[in-house]
Amino acid sequence: MTDGTDCVRVDRVRVDLGPRSYEVRIGAGLLARAGEEIAPLLVRPRVAVLTDETVAGLHLEALRDGLRGIEMASLALPAGEATKGWPEFSRAVDWLLAKKVERRDIVVALGGGVIGDLAGFAAAVLRRGVRFVQIPTTLLAQVDSSVGGKTGINSVHGKNLIGAFHQPSLVLADIAVLETLPARDFLSGYGEVVKYGLLGDAAFFGWLEANGPALALGDRTARQAAVRHSVAMKARIVERDETEEGDRALLNLGHTFCHALEKATGYSTRLLHGEGVAIGCALAFELSQRLGLCSQEAPSRVRAHLRAMGMKVDIADIPGDLPGPEGLLSFMAQDKKVVDGRLRFVLARGIGEAFVADDVPGDAVLRLLEDALAGR
Ligand code: NAD
Ligand code: GLY
């Protein structure tokens, strides 16, 4: 597509969920044409935008310009994971009500996974459900959190324990906005990109081994290809299993470890979500190898790629104190992926060959954590 903005090409990935179907549009310059993209969804020309203070400073005016006359009210919440809890959530919902957002209106989430999850949940409960549009501004949000309809906030009991499935009506992933993202946040999102290769596409993992450095340096073509491929993989899984009764759990590769580590670090900047996913993927492959499910080559290759990209790979890469192995294991037991008190892990028979296991021996996990913590 060439249209006079710097939008050269838009890829479209459809998420086919019957009456809840929608498109994910991916390309550089989509923010500048947001009005055109969103207008067909509007009953009246106004939107309410939830964002965070950092993103607002960088991209909110561009969105206002791109909306070309569509009235925009906005609320900027503090940036960071701590926002994803009851206080900021109730502030956001009350603000939407004060702005008189009605059942047929559209809420827009402009930001990373924190804003997307919170705004999506706000839309899910506001007046028993209003539609929303995701405009993800981090790599993590573009490849994962903006797609698939998982919305929610954290509880003192753990991560994402309060929420709802609520699909967006449209996702606009503007590749150009990633250019203001700090390198650490970009690499954190890259953890989720690698996850797709590891869980179901060895060829994609090979492509990432070759193209990851170009992606990190800002190559837009490579970035767009990686986002498109990741979104398409997620869309196919979500279509098979929208509410995570089965296959969708594959998307949680690395997440049981990650959620325990995030809780252990107080959801702080000591460990970003995608960094936890990367460490969690390395641990899941190590556990798979110890259980005799895959060769030693697989975890070594995973670790080598993460290291080559300059990412966190080991628990030892997390600064500061952590609980002992039993403490981490108890955090895992609070995870949503616990079924009848049994820990559910995503394990792998090799790169691109993940599966869900409900029968992982607790002592194998404990020993793995002991060794990982001893490496500190
Ligand atoms: P985030 O939303 O906190 O964004 C990371 C940081 O980047 C923030 O400080 C933000 O202000 C800043 N930022 C965002 N866009 C920017 C830009 N373009 N330029 C400069 N700075 C920018 O974190 P995240 O990594 O995007 O998302 C993590 C969250 O996503 C976690 O809460 C996680 O649980 C959730 N998540 C949800 C799903 C899902 O399916 N719903 C999937 C994966 C992760
Ligand atoms: N990020 C995991 C999921 O969407 O299911």
Which token pair is 48?
A: 């309410």
Q: With left for phi above 0 and alpha for psi between -120 and 50, is residue 310 left, alpha or beta?
A: left
| Whether the Cβ atoms of residue 261 and residue 315 lie closer than 8 Å to each other | yes
CATH number at residue 40: 3.40.50.1970
For the CA atoms of 194, 195, 200, 201, what is the dihedral angle to 10 degrees? 0
For range 29-35, the mean pLDDT:
98
* Ligand 2, pocket-test mutation among 145, 196, 253, 336, most atoms within 8 A of CB: 145
Helix (H) or strand (E) holding 94: helix 86-98
How close is the Cα of 71 to the center of ligand 2, in Å? 32
Percent of the chain predicted with pLDDT > 70 = 95
8 A C-beta contact, residue 31 and residue 66: yes
Given 179, 203, 231, which residue is the final one in a domain?
Answer: 179
For ligand 1, the distance from its centroid to the CA atom of residue 114, given in whole angstroms, is 5
pLDDT surpasses 90 at 45:
yes
Q: At which of 162, 179, 196 does a domain end?
A: 179
pLDDT of the residue at 4: 40
Give the N- to C-terminal CA distance of the chain in Å, as an integer: 51
**Cα distance between residue 145 and residue 90, in whole Å:** 21
Residue 205 Cα, ligand 2 centroid: separation in angstroms?
19
**Which atom of ligand 1 is found nearest the CA of 54?**
11
Looking at the fold, whether 119 and 255 belong to one and the same domain comes out as no
How close is the Cα of 359 to the center of ligand 1, in Å? 32
22 alpha-carbon distance from chain centroid: 18
Residue ending a domain, among 161, 179, 197, is 179
Q: Residue 319 burial by CB count (10 A; 0-12/13-18/19+): exposed, middle or buried?
A: exposed
Q: Are residues 219 and 329 in the same domain?
A: yes
Least confident interval from 68-82, 238-252, 305-319, 340-354: 340-354
Q: pLDDT category, 344, cuts 50, 70, 90?
A: confident
- Ligand minimally distant from the alpha carbon of residue 237: 2
Residues 10 and 154 in one domain: yes
Same domain, 108 and 245: no
pLDDT at 2: 38
Domain count, the chain: 2
Ranges 60-64, 145-149, 155-159, 242-246: which has the least confidence: 155-159
Which of 5, 282, 16, 295 has the alpha carbon at shortest distance from 149? 16
Q: 210 and 349: one domain?
A: yes
When pLDDT is cut at 50, 70 and 90, the band that residue 340 belongs to is low
Note whether 307 and 200 are same-domain residues.
yes
d(CA 185, CA 283): 21
Are 203 and 310 members of one domain?
A: yes
Ligand 1 atom nearest the C-alpha of 151 is 41
Q: Give tens-digit pLDDT for 206-260.
A: 999 999 999 999 999 999 999 999 999 999 999 999 999 999 999 999 999 999 9
Joined together, the tokens standing for residue 151 give 């919305």
**Tens of pLDDT along 152-211?**
999 988 889 999 999 999 999 999 999 999 999 999 999 999 999 999 999 999 999 999
Q: Is 187 in the pocket of ligand 1 (CB under 6 A)?
A: no
* Nearest by Cα to 216 from 257, 185, 238, 244: 185
Q: pLDDT at residue 339 above 90?
A: no
pLDDT grade for 343, boundaries at 50, 70 and 90: confident
Place of tokens 């501004």: 137
Does residue 15 have a pLDDT over 60?
yes
Q: Could you tell me the residue range of the domain that residue 240 belongs to? A: 183-374
Task: Give the orientation angle of helix 86-98 with respect to helix 113-125, to 10 degrees.
Answer: 60
| Matching residue, tokens 């990982």 | 372
Clarify whether residues 191 and 171 are in a common domain: no
Give the per-residue pLDDT at 319: 96
Same domain (yes/no): 242, 323: yes
What's residue 333's pLDDT?
75
Residue 376: pLDDT over 60: no
Positions marked catalytic = 128, 150, 192, 234, 244, 248, 252, 255, 259, 273
For residue 7, pLDDT over 80 is answered with no
pLDDT at residue number 249? 95
Q: How far apart are CA 291 and CA 298, in angstroms?
A: 13
Q: Ligand 2, closest atom to CA 237?
A: 5
* Phi, psi of 175, deg, nearest 5: -60, -30
Relative to the alpha carbon of 253, which ligand is closest? 2
Q: Residue 1 above 70 pLDDT?
A: no
Phi and psi torsions of 113, nearest 5°: -65, -30
Query: Mean pLDDT of all residues in the chain?
Result: 94
Residues 256 and 345 in one domain: yes
Lowest mean pLDDT among 3-7, 144-148, 364-368: 3-7
Confidence of residue 341 (pLDDT cuts 50, 70, 90): low
- Say if residue 203 is in the same domain as residue 280: yes
CATH of the domain at 210: 1.20.1090.10
**Is 3 a residue whose pLDDT tops 50?**
no
Decide: pTM greater than 0.85: yes
H-state helical runs in 126-242 = 139-140, 183-200, 202-217, 220-240
Residue 288 and residue 332 share a domain: yes
pLDDT at 335 over 80: no
52 in ligand 1 pocket by Cβ < 6 Å? yes
Residue 344 is encoded by which pair of tokens?
């559910």
Mean pLDDT calculated for residue range 297-312: 98
CA-based nearest residue to 346, from 263, 255, 278: 255
pLDDT at 149: 98
Distance CA 31, CA 37 (A): 9
pLDDT of residue 29: 97
